[in-house]
Amino acid sequence: MITIQYAIIGGTGVYDSGVASIQKTVNTEYGKVEVDIAEVEGTSMVFLARHGKEHGIPPHLINYRANIKALQELGVQHIFATAAVGSLNPDYPTGSLVVLSDFMEMTKQRPLTFFEGGTDDVKHVNMDDPYCGNLRKHLLEAAKLHKIQFKGNAVYLCTEGPRFETEAEIRMMRKWGADVVGMTSVPEVVLAKELGMCYASVGFVVNMATGMESGPIQLESIGDMLARNKEKVNKMFLDIFSKTLDQQNCGCADSIVCL
């Protein structure tokens, strides 16, 4: 069995890592997962397209548990993800890149946990640092080096989708303190933590959220925005993987509380 410590989960518009890879199917108790495995400067890493290679899986139907379980079965400890987001914060206009620092959740019907009770103890997972602080530190350092401008640490609000939000919902979410809205980061970030993995995510602001500008959400610019940024962000992730990452400077490997 191969062991691969590092993974990239590509969101909308990011369907490969940009380096030569071999495809592999991982069978998990939650379902099959297709991944690409690549060797970059002597380091192995796995790439997983969250929505599938053809962008055919909508956010509410993604098999998040199979995806994260497959990465664990390959030996992954560190995950970088990308996520297309809408912005609620005028300081983060369309085209911005943000590092996610915390989340709120308004999902409704997706499986949210690996912890199903039964013969196991009742388990809870700490959420004091949902997006690994150590990986975020590496991201900010690498961004400086690569001259990639991150607009800020953003609070992400996850909706069920696939519909966009109403204006009233966006007004409420702004009052709550959300900066960006998307449909996929939860439960992905939670499941990674449940399995003791470090997880960080970069948000690509592809539109202003409903009501933040006049008229309906403009989607035309999404393709361009993603194409412009995916290559440099992937390259930055790969550069970080060429360093040795450990779990000594974060609590991710030790986040479970049993009552």
Name the one range near ligand HPA by CB under 6 A: 48-56, 61-69, 80-88, 234-242: 80-88
- Taking CB under 6 A as the rule, does residue 81 contact ligand HPA? no
Q: Does 14 bind ligand HPA (CB under 6 A)?
A: no
Q: Does 62 bind ligand HPA (CB under 6 A)?
A: no
Question: Stretches 21-29, 66-74, 178-186, 251-259: which one binds ligand HPA (CB under 6 A)?
Answer: 178-186
| By CB under 6 A, residue 209 contacts ligand HPA | yes
Q: How far is residue 154 from each of residues 91, 97, 122, 204, measured CA to CA in Å?
A: 11, 10, 31, 11
Applying CB under 6 A, which of residues 26, 48, 74, 85 lies at the interface with ligand HPA? 85
Q: Which is nearer to ligand HPA, 17 or 207 (CB)?
A: 207
Considering the complex, what minimum distance in angstroms separates the CB of residue 172 from ligand HPA?
Answer: 14
91, with CB counted inside 10 A (0-12, 13-18, 19+), is: exposed
Instruction: Find the shortest distance in angstroms from Cβ 122 to ligand HPA.
Output: 33
Q: Quick one: tokens of 64?
A: 């998040």
Q: Residue 144 region, left (φ>0) first, then alpha (ψ -120 to 50), else beta?
A: alpha
CB of 205 to ligand HPA, least distance (A): 8
Q: What value does the CA radius of gyration of the chain take, rounded to a whole number of Å? A: 17
Query: Which lies closer to ligand HPA via its Cβ, residue 183 or residue 190?
Result: 183
What span, in angstroms and rounded, lies between the C-alpha atoms of 245 and 62? 28
* Residue closest to 158 by CA, chosen among 213, 226, 85: 85
Q: How far apart are CA 197 and CA 225, in angstroms?
A: 29
Contact with ligand HPA (CB under 6 A) among 21, 73, 94, 164 = 164
Q: Contacting ligand HPA (CB under 6 A), which of 165, 179, 188, 194?
A: 165
DSSP element (H, E) containing 1: none
Pick 117 or 216: Cβ nearer ligand HPA = 216
Cite the beta strand spans of the chain per DSSP E.
Answer: 6-10, 21-28, 31-40, 43-49, 78-87, 97-106, 123-125, 150-159, 180-182, 198-208, 256-258
Instruction: Give the residue with the Cβ less far from ligand HPA, 148 or 217.
Output: 217
CB of 165 to ligand HPA, least distance (A): 6
Spell out a b/e string for 107-130, using b for 16 or more CB atoms within 10 Å of the CB, else e: beebeeebeeeeeeeebebeeebb
Nearest position to ligand HPA, beta carbon: 86
Identify the residue among 100, 125, 142, 183 touching ligand HPA (CB under 6 A): 183
Closest CB to ligand HPA among residues 48, 181: 181
- State the residues that interact with ligand HPA by CB under 6 A: 84-86, 159, 164-165, 181-183, 206-207, 209, 217
